[in-house]
Chains A and B, each alone.
Chain A
Amino acid sequence: MIDTIEAAWSPLAATPLFWIVVTVGSFLAAKRLNRICNGSAAANPVLLAILLTAVVVAVSRVPYPTYFAGAQFINFLLGPTTVALAVPMARNMRHIKSTAPALALALTVGLLVSISSGIGLVWLLGGSHAVALSMAPKNATTPIAIVLSQQIGGLPALTATLAILGGIISAMIRRHLFSFLSIDDHRTHGFVAGVVGSGVAAAEVSSLSGLAAGFAALGIALNGAVTALVMPLLAVFWH
């Protein structure tokens, strides 16, 4: 019996289609779980989907590159989807223009605090240099963060993980934090999600309103550009 399952399983687990089905299936299951939990931020669908998929990958004893050989077709859609954020951005261009100085200031303060506290906390708690440098670019959207991490001497794979986990944490606590700070402006919700949490948090904030989605798109773009310009300086002054 087990032999029969193994005989059917092994060739199946090597096909790209199998891992696409597992990934999409996990995401649908995660969304359903999130609905069962009344859309609670703690039951973040991206986090649940990653856990479900990771369990299947681990149980089937398949190496990550084999999984990714299939899942890359889903990963590929990140490109056109990032471009698609231009639509909510264009719809809200008037709001963006009228708030440009506030956005520039918030971006500068937010990035300074987030980069320095990330490096500082790792350093204070005895983490290694490589881990601290992997933490530094994590707020930028994942593809930018990976390239920057490599450039400054971090661990690119760890940075990718941190960028996604940071986005998940940001999506999980933003709503509670903002109601505590009594902030309900969708421009702030969107921009903050884009700057601290990039794509993952933007995916969550887009369900709030088109205004929030537009500001999140802008947050991702500006954060990516500024982080890309600042990181090489960090590498020069701190090594």
Chain B
Amino acid sequence: MIGGFFLLLACDLLGEALRDLMHLPIPGPVVGMLLLAVCLTLRSHRSGRELPPQLEHSAEALIANMGLLFVPAGVGVITQTSVLESEWLPILAGLIGSTLLGLIATALTMRLVLRKPKPDPRHPLDGGRR
């Protein structure tokens, strides 16, 4: 558990460092996520190994409770009461309207161009497990 958590923190730090060095427009954690995903994929391609179990445990524990982590920033809504009061209609309509239209547009495009998946039982990382 702690070994996996260390790996996640280290990738986070590495992502932050790379972002600073290369002046990337994406935040450090997203850079770290892409780095780790590429490393894990290369590792399984080369040696056919499964993911490290320590990492899987930590990742699963964090992802399962990810909703909690948005609460502190979400409570920040209480600092926005004045603009929410004066412009509630454009904000509400824009928020709901653009979310709904964005969902429909993305989903319909995918349905239009996506083919049915072909499961491959021989692939080491393949499967629906979380």
Please say whether chains A and B are actual partners in one complex: yes
B27 at the interface (CB under 8 A from A): yes
Chain A positions 153 through 168: 1 when the CB is less than 8 Å from some CB of chain B, otherwise 0: 0010110111011110
Cβ-defined partner of B102 (8 Å) among A78, A117, A132, A141: A117
Cβ-defined partner of B40 (8 Å) among A57, A90, A101, A162: A90
Query: Cβ of B98: which chain A residues have Cβ within 8 Å of it?
Result: 113-115, 117-118, 121, 135, 138, 166
Excluding A79-B9, A121-B98, 4 further A-B contacts by CB distance (< 8 Å) are A92-B125, A98-B117, A169-B96, A210-B128
Known contacts A91-B126, A91-B129, A131-B91; A79 and B113 CB within 8 A of each other: no
Chain B positions 90 through 101: 1 when the CB is less than 8 Å from some CB of chain A, otherwise 0: 110111111111
Chain A positions 113 through 146: 1 when the CB is less than 8 Å from some CB of chain B, otherwise 0: 1110111011111111001100100110111100
The CA of A68 and the CA of B118, in the complex, are separated in Å by 47
Query: Cβ of A82: which chain B residues have Cβ within 8 Å of it?
Result: 12, 29-30, 32-33
Query: Cβ of B51: which chain A residues have Cβ within 8 Å of it?
Result: 87, 90-91
Tell me the count of chain B residues lying within 8 A, CB to CB, of chain A.
82
The CA of A144 and the CA of B28, in the complex, are separated in Å by 10
A145 to chain B, nearest CB (A): 10
Residues of chain A touching chain B, judged by Cβ–Cβ distance below 8 Å, are 23-24, 26-27, 45-46, 49-50, 53-54, 57-58, 64, 67-68, 71-72, 74-75, 77-95, 98-99, 101-103, 105-107, 109-115, 117-119, 121-128, 131-132, 135, 138-139, 141-144, 147, 155, 157-158, 160-162, 164-167, 169-170, 173-174, 177-178, 181, 183, 185-188, 191-192, 195-197, 199-200, 202-204, 206-207, 209-211, 213, 217, 220-221, 224-225, 228-229
